Chains A and B, each alone.
Chain A
Amino acid sequence: MTPLLTTKGLSRNFGGLRAVDNVDFTLMPGEIRAVIGPNGAGKTTFVSLVSGRIQPSSGAILFDGADITGLPAYVRVRQGIAYTFQITSVFANLSAYDNVALPVQRTLSDGRSKGAVRAGVMSALERTGLAGRAHMPAGQLSYGHQRLLEVAMGLALKPRLLILDEPTQGLADSEIDNFIELVRDIAKNATVLLIEHNMPVVMQLADRITVFNAGRILAEGTPEAIRDNAAVQDAYLGTAP
């Protein structure tokens, strides 16, 4: 089986700092992969390189076997790489409906019909439980709902790879449980790459875990293997259980 995403020797320097250092990474279709690591380990830089928001200093990125290293971000989105922002960046002055309509109208192939946009928007809003708030300006939604709207926008892109950057940050416990269900639901049709600090969420969701430290991959494996990995405990989980 062809990997959905491969990076070869991927690096990015900021001045003298190697934020991402020679990373070889492989992601198989259908996986839920969690990326964890201490703050400043290069996780967000890594997914920004994958999504095309920043350009690598060296190395290559392959998506479904094709080299996408030089492609601008919007083309990668069209090829199926969706990115949800770490800091919520919904269009605050537009309604929740319009926020989701933007990705929906672009992925529609039939062109004209207004009904198709409406159906697509409402289905994404229903999946995220926001249907009742469709006409509220996004900026007036609660923080948790804005995060969900962010996911709804990602979903509406019908991605093959959905990158979620710290999606549960700032969510209440009850919201987190719903969120885990939502990601499992999404993973039926898409591969998920998840940056997450909340370890219980990672342990429940991830098929495999990649641990970043100082811009490099420190370890990779199943949740159990990572939990038992002494180096990871040292670098990240600390010595306490």
Chain B
Amino acid sequence: MHFGPHLLLAALEGLVTSAVLALTALGLSLVFGVMRVVNVAHGEFFMLGAVLAWAITTAIGGHPALGFLAALVIAPLIVGAIALIAERLVLRRLNYNPEATIVATIGMLYIIQQLALTFYGPEARPVEPPFSYRILLPWFGYSGYKLSVIAASALLLIATWLVLTRTKIGLIMRATQYDSETAQAFGIPVGRVYGGVFALGAMLAAIAAVLIVPISQAHYLMGQDPLLLSFIVVIIGGLGSLRGTVVAAVLIGLSDGIISMFFSPTLAKIIATLLVAMVLVFRPQGLFGTASR
């Protein structure tokens, strides 16, 4: 293959990564933006989504599309419920103290990971894609499913954006984000908003995982890379900024796809992590975000 098509392939792969990353990072960003909680267990919610997708598709059987659609609905709901319980039992009791919640979510990370290992096992297991149509480009064939992941993610992002900017729920969330005490004084049930946002953040990660699991496989350690990449995206995009998150996800996803074609993935990770740490040190509001608040 020549360089051009090679690059196109890398870019397409990068876009798939971006699409899933944008959803995952958006969940992390919402939770941080509204609750000021850094959820270190976010990657484990992602992993749970993938593992549950495998369990659900296996249990249902029949045509792959049937199981997949069921997983796309049920897995995020279960993950959201788990997140809600964790929020009620732990984060709320800590009064959302930033440092204590980090320590607590690290604890959640270990618990979820070990439970997944115990009940799901150390194997990586595949999920069949709902359809296996290949689109034939002049230079190579490309998975139609991968393209549909990009489309689905774009739709979900637009939907989230509409909810945040055009609905009463979005207004309540933004009011809570801006000033939770005043919001409380105006009768907004801040506690319930927090619970809902934490669950929503986890569900976004779970949806992203269900979408990606037919491409990569379900594994109990698969939450670590999305967590790191989501951190990177949220930091580059500016903490709590939706537009910045999407722009940064595309940027990171594309460069990740392209760089890892040409460099060793470990070296790429080293450079990316170092650059992002430097961004956080020297430009804490991110490259795209304005210093809101």
State yes or no: do A and B touch (Cβ within 8 Å).
Answer: no
